Amino acid sequence: MQTNSDRLVQIAVAGQVAFARSYGPWEISQGGKAFMYPSVGGISYNAKIGDLASGFQADHAEPGVTIRRKDNLENGGLNTLACVGNTATVSSGDAKGARGYVTGKHGGVEHVLIWFDQDTLEKLGPDDTIQIKSWGTGLAIDEMPDIQCKNLDPDLLAKMNLHIRSGVLEVPVAATVPAQLMGSGMGSATAHRGDYDIMTADIQAYSKYGLDKLRLGDIVLLQDCDTTFGRGYLEGAATIGVIVHSDCLLAGHGPGVTTLLTCKTPKIRGIQDSKANIGSYLGILREGN
């Protein structure tokens, strides 16, 4: 499989460790109950790639380190150009020089999420700067011109065990998600940044498709979901994405999915593989995951 990776521009983008946010004093769950749990932002010491997305007493928990920039235009550049799998380096503070990987983007709050090892997490502090060698925006697969790549580092693409058979791209996926379960983020103007959520209100449907077993970092197939120029329903379309944050209690929300590959026609096929997780491909899963 050939790509245009040798013609893509590598450019530095950077952000600061973002403070944890609170939307209190209370939020209201889809069941009508008040709750207050940890949510977005900050440094998460124990929510990691490979953990169950539904395993925490939290709402929209972001694994690893969250970064953003205070200037909205600059933050837009960070969120658009950073790609899943890009290398990230701490450039200030006690953890200066430590390296990690971009694992996702979270829309609405416009955060970029980064994995670092535990020692680095313990040394990082709010406002420490992390620089990313962004590479992947504009990536294309030569043999599959109808498929768009988004938010995807070329080196990660090469590790995803993809195959082209009879004009269809086969992608290992941990789960397949029907379009009717996609919620918050639907209708957004672009999928070059952010994510959209798998809704959890229908517990039976959520379990029927094995989504209660999803892990942070899992690769999933979104059926009949077109994210080429925004996010919407299109019969026959397919999107491949990565689970970037935990499940949620708010109506219309759930584990977030950042787009990696998308096509308006049935040229992407998911191949069931419980080990399809970026943590496996990047070698960052902790023991036991």
Q: Specify the pLDDT at position 197.
A: 97
- Its domain, for residue 248, covers 148-282
> What is the pLDDT at residue 25?
82
Same domain, 71 and 181: no
Question: Are 192 and 236 within one domain?
Answer: yes
Question: Rounded to an integer, what distance in angstroms lies between the CA atom of residue 221 and that of residue 241?
Answer: 7
* Average pLDDT value for residue range 180-202: 95
**Within-domain flag for 288:** no
Q: What percent of the chain has pLDDT over 90?
A: 88
171 within some domain: yes
Q: How many domains does the chain have?
A: 2
Residues 168 and 252 grouped into a single domain: yes
Q: Could you report the per-residue pLDDT of 36-84, keeping only the tens digit for each?
A: 888 999 999 999 999 999 989 889 999 999 999 999 999 999 999 999 9
Say if residue 264 is in the same domain as residue 228.
yes
Are residues 94 and 185 both part of a single domain? no
Do 98 and 15 lie in one domain? The reply is yes
- The enclosing domain of 216 has a CATH number of 2.102.30.10
Asked whether residue 119 falls in the same domain as residue 163, the answer is no
Mean pLDDT computed over every residue of the chain: 95
List the structure tokens of 203.
């517990």
Instruction: Flag whether pLDDT at 23 surpasses 80.
Output: no
> Around 190, how many Cα atoms within 13 Å sit in the side-chain half-sphere?
15
Cis bond upstream, residue 25 (ω within 30): yes
Report yes or no on 221 lying in a domain. yes
pLDDT of res. 11: 97
Q: Give the residue, 31 or 281, on which the prediction is more confident.
A: 281
Q: What is the mean pLDDT of residues 265-281?
A: 97
> Which of the 8 DSSP states describes residue 289?
-
CB 254 within 8 A of CB 195: no
Q: Are residues 167 and 252 in the same domain?
A: yes
What's the rounded Cα separation, in Å, for the pair 256 and 182? 10
Distance from C-alpha of 45 to C-alpha of 195, rounded to nearest angstrom: 22
pTM: 0.96
pLDDT for 274 beyond 90: yes
Each residue's pLDDT tens digit, 88-147: 999 999 999 999 999 999 999 999 999 999 999 999 998 999 999 999 999 999 999 999
Q: Summarize pLDDT for 187-196 with one digit per residue, the tens.
A: 999 999 999 9
